[in-house]
Amino acid sequence: MSETRRAVVERQTAETKIRIEVNLDGRGQARVRSGIGFLDHMLATLARHAFFDLDVEAQGDLQVDPHHTVEDVAICLGQAIAKALGRREGIARFGWAVIPMDDALVMAAVDLSGRPYSDVDLPLLSPQVGALDTQLVAEFFRSLSWAGALNLHVRRLAGQNDHHLVEAAFKAVARALAAAVAGDPRTAGKPPSTKGVLGEEDHGADGQSQRRAAGGGSTGGG
């Protein structure tokens, strides 16, 4: 595991301009400015409970809708995590958490396998939570997964309050990530995989693997 697990990712399109800096070995400090208040709150929550230091500066076409900003922030965050992990040596690789928040109970599980896959089962009834469209919550996690080359499952186990469910989901993903990126001396100097390598897929600038673009799935194993 490298001594410094930090990364900066910048992305500019006709729709958004994003800069994200992440330190995987931080203290949970966050400075987030996306123009979407509830997204800022969730990203700060993720940083706090993953123990990442996170700096996010995002400008997007919010006069159109928040979709582009939410998706591109997730892409950049996933890319930054992947970049900071490097060869993914000396890490635990797997992490999971079940987080309650009042009536809500949400499970998240992460595998830093280098093979992107996501399955988000988080039914939400309200069209919005704060200024965030609820349909973009699952989109955020999917984009994070593909850009970060990680396997991510999110499940609602109980609860009806959408605010509580979304916040519990971000906290669960955060704790799962914290466990997965943690150092494991038993895998020092090597990836935790029978293949001897993690992250073998080639990810383009849009954060999506060539395999996905071609319509394929993950290779399994590892």
Q: ∠ CA 33-69-130 to the nearest 5 degrees?
A: 70
All structural domains of the chain: 6-210 (3.30.230.40)
6-12 and 30-33: which strand pairing?
Answer: unpaired
* Residue 178 clears pLDDT 80, i.e. is over it: yes
pLDDT at 203 over 50: no
SS3 state at 111:
strand
Nearest to 73 by CA among 141, 126, 153: 141
Q: Report the pLDDT value the prediction gives residue 183, as an integer from 0 to 100.
A: 84
pLDDT single digits (tens) 116-148: 999 999 999 999 999 899 999 999 999 999 999
Helical spans, DSSP H, in 93-200: 135-148, 162-181
Cβ neighbourhood burial of 82 (10 Å; 0-12, 13-18, 19+): buried
